[in-house]
């Protein structure tokens, strides 16, 4: 299947022959469908905070001394954001979308009279997209000017610096931010960071510790032909494709922090609208702290009870833990589990990374959703699933996405250290069965692509998870350039 040149490439990329062989086998076997029981809703699966819940979470946030790090996935180029404008240039015909965009060019933060005044509609679009002007068509979203202020303009990257200053500051005033970027954009991000960092440090009285991380080439996957053979380019070399955002679990695994806050690069607002975002991030972090403390306490109590060996006390504690796991994480154990294995099972469930995920009301936005599934061990759990992960031929899951009350805005706070302060090896908690195979093409030839379990999907499948309803104002993604005309971005 693989030749000597392939083996050299594997070694350069850090891929073993065994891994490559497993990937090709995956095209033959496919992935098992998840046993999805229902959508998570406020009735079961999504926590709606009471005022008392908010008070407890906020107090936990204020009194904590844990290290918090912002992790911002920012690898992708902004080309999809400008897809409709690229279509105008390629066709040579102005569309209604193009006319609306050019008529409002002065409303965008990237507008300058010197660049755009006196230009035709086509010239405006060309200058936005191509290197003769701004070159935004090939730049990453994080480097684009998103927001205009009375005395300033800010990129999406800068708005994340502002967010970090408002909820991720350590006791010593340091803010830790890790941004995942593509190799071709790394220098641009470094230059941007160096040019603006000092300004925000002075404004907010903080010190930023900013690092950039690259997706490892060892997480790329080998493309396959339609008959499941290695896909080769015209020169005979293998075609590798990015494994998807699930590969970033290795980047998260490298972060030295107790808590990691994950939020996409394009989900920011002008500072005028940031209050609710900051409040809810503090509440989610506070709730996460309470949950991890409960888990650590139960682990210690269970270890003590097992050491003493009183069966009656162990049974009572196991019942208490089972209620906690069900109420907080929707983890329901099979009724047939024998006493001999129950304490070990509960301890293993407690001793895992924890995540609290904000969920917003479903208004038809694209993205994954919150669900309750039955795992391979017979226990239930909360999972964030994409539509491709639901079996379309299973009548039980048909319509589950449509019936869901909430969807995933990618608003996660994650605890990645254990009771002893050591970091979990996050690769241990990936569900390898949660990937999927998609159809793509390369130079006009059809191919199959292997997608790794998504970062907030299968890569975190075996974490303890709580879903919390958060207000829609905290979710303001920029999927197309027209989204920058919404009030949360215009002000």
pLDDT 10s digit of each residue in the chain, 491 long?
899 999 999 999 999 999 999 999 999 999 988 999 999 999 999 999 999 999 999 999 999 999 999 999 998 778 889 999 999 999 999 999 999 999 999 999 999 999 999 999 999 999 999 999 999 999 999 999 999 999 999 999 999 999 999 999 999 999 999 999 999 999 999 999 999 999 999 999 999 999 999 988 888 999 999 999 999 999 999 999 988 888 899 999 999 999 999 999 999 999 999 999 999 999 999 999 999 999 999 999 999 999 999 999 999 999 999 999 999 999 999 988 999 999 999 999 999 999 999 999 987 766 789 999 999 999 999 999 988 888 888 888 877 877 789 999 999 999 999 999 999 999 999 999 898 898 999 988 999 999 889 999 999 999 999 999 999 999 999 999 999 999 999 97
d(CA 449, CA 242): 9
Q: Are residues 184 and 303 in the same domain?
A: yes
Residues 110 and 66 in one domain: no
pLDDT score of 245: 87
Residue 490 lies in a domain: no
Whether residues 242 and 261 share a domain: the answer is yes
**Rounded distance between C-alpha atoms, residue 303 and residue 318, angstroms:** 11
Q: How many domains does the chain have?
A: 2
| 317 and 181 housed in the same domain | yes
Find, among 136, 144, 148, 150, the residue nearest to 192 by Cα: 144
Backbone angles phi, psi at 381, to 5 degrees: -160, 165
251/215 Cα distance (integer angstroms): 7
- Separation of first and last alpha carbons in the chain: 57
Task: Using alpha carbons, select from 260, 278, 257 the residue that is nearest to residue 58.
Answer: 278
pLDDT value of residue 400? 82
Residue 487 CA to residue 227 CA, distance in Å, equals 50
Flag whether 414 is in a domain: yes
- The verdict on 119 and 206 lying in the same domain is no
CA atoms within 13 A on the CB side of 289: 22
Do 124 and 266 share a domain, yes or no? Answer: no
Domain-located, residue 451: yes
What pLDDT is recorded for position 340?
A: 93
DSSP single-letter state for residue 361: E
d(CA 289, CA 295): 10
* Same domain membership, residue 319 and residue 203: yes
Calpha distance 170→184 (Å, rounded): 32
Q: What is the token pair recorded at 218? A: 């060892």
Long-range Cβ contacts of 215-218 (<8 Å, 24+ apart): 215/75, 215/180, 215/182, 215/242, 215/247, 215/248, 215/251, 216/14, 216/247, 216/250, 216/251, 217/12, 217/13, 217/14, 218/13, 218/14, 218/15
Does one domain contain both 40 and 92?
no
Residues 339 and 433 reside in one and the same domain: yes
Residue 489 included in any domain = no
Give residue 118's domain range: 81-138
**By CB neighbour count within 10 A (0-12 exposed, 13-18 middle, 19+ buried), where does 294 fall?**
middle
Same domain, 299 and 345: yes
Per-residue model confidence (pLDDT) at position 395 = 83
Does 10 reside within a domain?
no
Are the C-beta atoms of 362 and 325 separated by less than 8 Å? no
Whether residue 249 is contained in a domain is answered as yes
Sheet architecture: strand order including 35-39 = 35-39, 369-374, 380-385
Residues 108 and 156 occupy one common structural domain: no
Q: What H or E segment, with its residue span, contains residue 415?
A: strand 411-415
Decide if 128 contacts 110 (C-beta within 8 A). yes
* Number of other CB atoms surrounding residue 20 within 10 Å: 21
Query: How many Å apart are CA 366 and CA 168, to the nearest integer?
Result: 28
Q: How far apart are CA 62 and CA 56, in angstroms?
A: 10
Q: Is 476 exposed, middle or buried (0-12, 13-18, 19+ CB in 10 A)?
A: buried
3-state SS, residue 23: helix
Report the length, in residues, of the chain: 491
Best CA proximity match to 325, nearest among 452, 433, 478, 464: 464
Judgement on whether residues 378 and 298 belong to the same structural domain of the protein: yes
Specify the pLDDT at position 365.
66
Contacts of 357 (CB under 8 A, 6+ apart): 370, 384, 408, 411, 412, 456, 465, 466, 467, 468
Give the residue from 110, 138, 166 where a domain finishes: 138
Cα separation, 317 vs 297, whole angstroms: 12
Q: What is the torsional sign of CA 8, 10, 14, 19?
A: negative
The owner of tokens 């494709």 is: 241
Residue 488 inside a domain? The answer is no
* Residues 354 and 396 sit within 8 Å (Cβ to Cβ): no
Q: Residue 447, by phi and psi: left (phi above 0), alpha (psi -120 to 50) or beta?
A: beta
């Amino acid at each position: 299947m693989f030749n000597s040149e392939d083996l050299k490439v594997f070694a350069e990329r850090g891929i073993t022959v065994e891994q490559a062989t497993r990937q090709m086998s995956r095209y033959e076997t496919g992935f098992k469908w998840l046993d999805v029981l229902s959508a998570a809703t406020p009735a079961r699966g999504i926590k709606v905070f009471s005022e008392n819940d908010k008070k407890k979470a906020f107090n936990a946030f204020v009194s904590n001394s844990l290290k918090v790090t912002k992790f911002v996935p920012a690898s992708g180029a902004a080309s999809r954001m400008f897809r409709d404008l690229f279509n105008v240039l390629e066709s040579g015909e102005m569309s209604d979308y193009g006319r609306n965009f050019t008529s409002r060019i002065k409303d965008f933060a990237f507008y300058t009279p010197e660049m755009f005044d006196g230009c035709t509609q086509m010239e405006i679009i060309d200058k936005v997209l191509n290197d003769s002007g701004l070159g935004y068509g090939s730049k990453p979203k994080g480097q684009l000017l998103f927001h205009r202020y009375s005395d300033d303009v800010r990129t999406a990257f800068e708005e994340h610096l502002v967010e970090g200053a408002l909820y991720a500051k350590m006791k010593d005033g340091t803010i830790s931010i890790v941004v995942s970027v593509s190799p071709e954009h790394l220098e641009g991000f470094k230059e941007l960071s160096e040019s603006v960092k000092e300004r925000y440090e002075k404004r907010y009285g903080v010190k930023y510790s900013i690092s950039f991380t690259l997706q490892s080439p060892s997480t790329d996957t080998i493309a396959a032909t339609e008959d499941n053979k290695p896909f080769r380019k015209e020169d005979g070399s293998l075609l590798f494709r990015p494994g998807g955002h699930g590969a970033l679990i290795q980047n998260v695994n490298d972060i030295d922090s107790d808590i990691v806050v994950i939020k996409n690069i394009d989900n920011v607002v002008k500072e005028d609208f940031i209050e609710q975002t900051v409040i809810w991030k503090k509440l989610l972090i506070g709730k996460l702290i309470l949950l991890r403390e409960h888990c650590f306490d139960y682990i210690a109590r269970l270890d003590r009870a097992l050491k003493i060996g009183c069966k009656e006390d162990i049974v009572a504690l196991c019942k208490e833990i089972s209620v906690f796991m069900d109420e907080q994480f929707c983890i329901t154990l099979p009724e047939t589990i024998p006493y001999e294995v129950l304490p070990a099972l509960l301890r293993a469930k407690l001793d895992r990374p924890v995540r609290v995920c904000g969920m917003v009301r479903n208004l038809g936005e694209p993205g994954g959703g919150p669900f309750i599934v039955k795992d391979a061990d017979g226990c239930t759990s909360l999972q964030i699933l994409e539509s491709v992960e639901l079996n379309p031929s299973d009548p039980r899951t048909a319509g589950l996405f449509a019936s869901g009350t909430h969807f995933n805005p990618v608003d996660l706070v994650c605890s990645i250290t254990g009771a002893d302060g050591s970091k979990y090896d996050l690769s241990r908690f990936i569900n390898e069965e949660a990937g999927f195979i998609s159809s793509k093409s390369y130079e006009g030839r059809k191919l199959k692509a292997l997608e790794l379990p998504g970062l907030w999907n299968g890569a975190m499948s075996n974490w303890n998870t709580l879903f919390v309803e958060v207000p829609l104002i905290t979710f303001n993604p920029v999927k197309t350039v027209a989204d920058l005309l919404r009030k949360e971005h215009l002000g």
